[in-house]
Amino acid sequence: MSVDLTKYPKTELFEAVDTIGVPHPYCIAPKHVAYASDHCSGILGREAIIGAERAGAVCDICRVNGEFLSFEQHKQALLIKCKKEDKEELHKYLLSIKDQAIADKFAGFAFQKGW
């Protein structure tokens, strides 16, 4: 997922710094690489990942955990750097960016200590 994080305001206490996979990042396996090499000129993008899944590849984390979520079922959360622990201010900040996060199809928020 590629999203312009500058759309999210930076405040004295909070800043959108990255995205993170939920429930975990999609992990590429050897079958994905082979598929990309054979069918996508070596480009391991969305088309190759979905094509490899049709050919039997799965997220390598799911393979180990037995969850078997498709590429599309792996979502992204917005990673918010918190420069101070202030639940009331964090709540206000999240409400202020909620509509944009929904528009960008984020599954939720994750937090990073920045102090």
pLDDT at 1 over 60: no
**DSSP letter for each residue of 49-77:** HHHHHHTT---HHHHHHT----TTT-EEE
User: What sign for the dihedral angle of Cα 52, 79, 104, 95?
Assistant: positive
- Please give the span between the terminal C-alpha atoms of the chain, in angstroms, as a whole number: 28
pLDDT at 81 over 60: yes
Closest CA to 35 of 63, 11, 54, 16: 54
Closest CA to 32 of 13, 50, 7, 6: 50
**Looking at residue 2, what is its pLDDT?**
66
> Who contacts 23 (Cβ-Cβ below 8 Å, separation ≥6)?
67, 69, 74
The beta strands (E) that lie in the chain are given as: 14-22, 75-82, 108-113
Taking the model in full, what pTM does it have?
0.77
In the chain, where the domains are located = 8-23+75-115, 27-73
pLDDT at 98 over 70: yes
Closest CA to 93 of 76, 115, 75, 78: 78
**Looking at residue 58, what is its pLDDT?**
95
